[in-house]
Amino acid sequence: MKTAMKFQNKSPEEIVRRYRRNVRLKQGLVILALLAYTAFAIREIWWNDVSFLGLLLGELLVFLALTPVGVWIAWDFLALNAILNINCDPVTYAQVMHLLGQKRNRKRSAITIQINEAIGDMWTGRFSEALSLVKSLPELNAGDQISVLYIRFNCCIKLKDIEGALQARQETKALTSTAKKSSLQKRGEQLLDMMASSLALEQGDYASFRHMEETGKHTSTVNIQQVTAAFHLAKADMAQGDTQSAVARLEYVAKMGGTLYITEAAQNLLAELKENPHGSQQEQP
């Protein structure tokens, strides 16, 4: 929660400046440690005739000791996800990733940044733009492929491209069935579960949708998941005539949804329900 709070009321430019400053500071500490050991090694060789092998082993130990620093540096990048997952602010998140992508990055980092920007665009409702960003990414590893399939499926559903959504689901099944890492298999199974739930909602099968939401593997553990689940359940409530539950859920989404595209949709649905609380029970778009 502290991580999420430090990004609130900050401009994308300010967030990126602080991120880069912290990374440079930590990288500087690594370089300083290596320089200090190099100076020590030269002194030992010159004055004390220490074996080169012994110093080489010592340098290896230094590298191992600095491994946690590398994790520390990577944590700064992962912490940026709190902008989206906790603060529900995809507008800022997408802009932060866009700014990071403008600088020269290693190929692996550049791909991750572009995928993250696409996820931000998707949650702001810019579905076509999100698809364009991931359309021709080169040499994706299995984890990146899962992320891209997640984007493709969601965007195709929102753009009413059911064929494209089903194709993304089929590719996810194939990737999950051949995954060697258990963590990737679990992630793929969660994504397939979410896809099945979304398709049930899209097709108006509310009983199956509710059952999958209650028993599925895609548990809602962070704010963005809880807000999204509430919005989808509210749509099911409205279609089934449970206005009271729909209003409660939509009010929660309107309060907690930040800049998610579903926040404005929730506000519009609330206004409609207040004007006509016993109106149409058809599913809203």
pLDDT higher than threshold 80 for residue 63: no
Q: How many CB atoms lie within 10 A of CB 133?
A: 24
In this prediction, residues 256-284 reach a mean pLDDT of 81
The rounded mean pLDDT for the chain is 85
Q: Give yes or no for a contact between 85 and 223, defined as CB atoms under 8 angstroms apart.
A: yes
The b/e string for 158-190 (b: 16+ C-beta within 10 A; e otherwise) is beebeebbeebbebbbebbeebeeeebeebbbb
Token pair 């090694």: residue: 41
Cα(199)–Cα(216) distance, integer angstroms: 14
What is the model's pLDDT at position 55?
Answer: 55
Q: How confident is the model at residue 2 (pLDDT cuts 50, 70, 90)?
A: low
Q: How far is CA 83 from CA 23, 93, 100, 118, 223, in A?
A: 18, 6, 15, 14, 11
Q: How confident is the model at residue 60 (pLDDT cuts 50, 70, 90)?
A: low
Task: For residue range 147-191, list pLDDT tens digits in order.
Answer: 999 999 999 999 999 999 999 999 999 999 998 899 999 999 999
The b/e string for 78-114 (b: 16+ C-beta within 10 A; e otherwise) is eebbbbbbbbbbbbbbbbbbbbbbeeeeeeeeebbbb
Cα(6)–Cα(16) distance, integer angstroms: 12
Cα(266)–Cα(225) distance, integer angstroms: 15
- pTM score: 0.84
Cα(186)–Cα(275) distance, integer angstroms: 44
What is the model's pLDDT at position 91?
Answer: 97
